[in-house]
Amino acid sequence: MPSTKRPKPLYQRGPYRLYPRPGRFLQIVWYDEQRKRERGISAGTADVGQGRIELDRLYLESIGERVCPTCRRPYDNHGDQLVTSAIADYLVLVQDRASIGSIRDRLNHVIRYIAATDPSITCAAIDDAWANRYRKWLAKDPYYRGKSRKPQYRSPATVEQSLMQLSAAINATQPMRPNFKYQQGKDLSESPTYRADVATMARMFQYALADKRRRSLLLFLRAAVATWARPDAIMDLRPSQYIPAARVLPLNPKGRRQTKKYRPTIPVAAQFGAVLEGMGDPYIPHASIRSAWETMCADIGLPRDGSAGPKLIRRSMATEGRKRLGEEHWVQGQMMLGHAKHDISDVYAVPDPANLGRVLAVTEQIIAEIEAIVPGAYRTVTAQADNVVSIASAKNG
């Protein structure tokens, strides 16, 4: 009986072909040179897009196996691969990383430049001269935010981050090392020096409370002051993270891999606990508060030179908290920020003064001062006096 002829594959890369199977998952088929026969495995999905990704992953793994035993580099010469193709391969390899969003954003700048200049450029042709032209182009490439529609421009550190990501993509997919060098971000970044005092933070709350349409901004401010967290951690916040019985909040959601920007488990200020207990999913309903933040900065007169972005609260709480904690206990501030990792096996121990109780007391004190200036900053959930740990008792604890 003659065998049934296979249909045209849905997708093919190298020897790997993707086929449909009615009522079942897609199948990946290839000819195994070692076994001298055709082999096939399930793609584990019926979705063609996901099937393509699985086939790409299999193809890339097959290339990675053919390496020099000394230098661990692939024998195959892929140095002439298109940069856009190498980037596509790299995105497949790193798609499970927690930072995949930032990786895509940085490489999108590279793709835009290549599309505008030479779409056929290969990895071997990316040298220092190309990198310098790219730097000049991206530095002059405007982007727009907020209602003003005034052009803004990227910092040298932001420009360099995309070159660092391109270097990582070439390293991960090619047998050659990149032919260009990038500058370290620490040599280019200028940390903003502006900090908001308690009175200024209270003005932010006053602005957010003045209009119900600014609720997302208000929610952000409440979380930023109470947690000292980075803006991305606040935007990711979900009800499942809060542990009310322990009054602690793991800023890193379950299932998310930690990155270099470590997200700690922190104690929850009494004034913020009730807010978390009643929060929606997600905590902040809008995908971004950037436009509302920039409008607020303009209305209340905050600096517009890039030193008063959404990370301002984190920097300001760290500065204010350090003064109140003193250098002896500043390590608790570092733990709150995620700059130092605490080793506590039981989350119930986190608010203890010996662990993070002192920084919790400082945080509750600052919130109380903001609430005194702007009643309702934390709505009607301001903690009663007997629920707030005083600085004195925390230090004696």
pLDDT in tens, 287-313: 889 889 999 999 999 987 778 889 999
- The mean pLDDT value for 181-195 works out to 74
Mean pLDDT across 181-201 = 80
What is the average pLDDT score of the chain?
84
Give residue 75's pLDDT: 43
Nearest to 218 by CA among 228, 229, 206, 230: 206
pLDDT at position 183:
83
Q: Give the chain's end-to-end CA distance (angstroms, integer).
A: 85
SS (H, E, C) the chain: CCCCCCCCCCEEECCEEEECCCCCCCEEEEEECCCCEEEEEECCCCCHHHHHHHHHHHHHHHHHCCECCCCCCECCCCCCCEHHHHHHHHHHHCCCCCCHHHHHHHHHHHHHHHHHHCCCCEHHHCEHHHHHHHHHHHHHCCEECCCCCCEECCCHHHHHHHHHHHHHHHHHHCCCCCECCCCCHHHCCCCCCCCCCHHHHHHHHHHHHCCHHHHHHHHHHHHHHHHCCCHHHHHCCCHHHCECCCCEEECCCCCCCCCCCCCCEEECCHHHHHHHHCCCCCCCCCCCCHHHHHHHHHHHCCCCCCCCCCCHHHHHHHHHHHHHHCHHHHHHHHHHHCCCCCCCCCHHHCCCHHHHHHHHHHHHHHHHHHHHHCCCCCCCCCCCHHHCCCHHHHHHC
- Range in 68-72, 172-176, 268-272 with the lowest mean pLDDT: 68-72
CA atoms of 3 and 198, how far apart (whole Å): 78
With 80 as the cut, is the pLDDT of residue 326 above it?
yes
**What residue type is 219 in one-letter code?**
L
Q: Express each pLDDT in 331-381 by its tens digit.
A: 999 999 999 887 655 566 766 766 788 999 999 999 999 999 999 999 754
pLDDT at position 346 is 56
CA atoms within 13 A on the CB side of 194: 17
User: Each residue of 33-59: pLDDT tens digit?
Assistant: 888 888 999 988 888 888 888 887 787
Q: What are phi and psi of 339, to 5 degrees?
A: -85, -20
pLDDT for residue 3 is more than 90:
no
**Which of 164, 161, 160, 170 shows the shortest CA–CA distance to 90?**
170
pLDDT band at 263 (very low <50, low <70, confident <90, very high): very high
Q: 136: Cβ–Cβ under 8 A, 6 or more apart, which residues?
A: none
pLDDT above 50 for 386: no
Q: Measure the CA–CA gap between 57 and 93, rounded to whole angstroms.
A: 7
Output b/e per residue, 314-327; b: 16+ Cβ within 10 A.
bbbbbebbbebbee
pLDDT at 25 over 80: yes
Domain residues of the chain, as ranges?
11-64, 83-187, 198-396
SS (H, E, C) 210-273: CCHHHHHHHHHHHHHHHHCCCHHHHHCCCHHHCECCCCEEECCCCCCCCCCCCCCEEECCHHHH
When pLDDT is cut at 50, 70 and 90, the band that residue 197 belongs to is very high
CATH 1.25.10 holds for 198-396: no
pTM (two decimals): 0.61
Write the CA distances from 237 to 333, 342, 346, integer angstroms. 21, 21, 22
**C-alpha dihedral sign at 48, 49, 52, 54:** negative
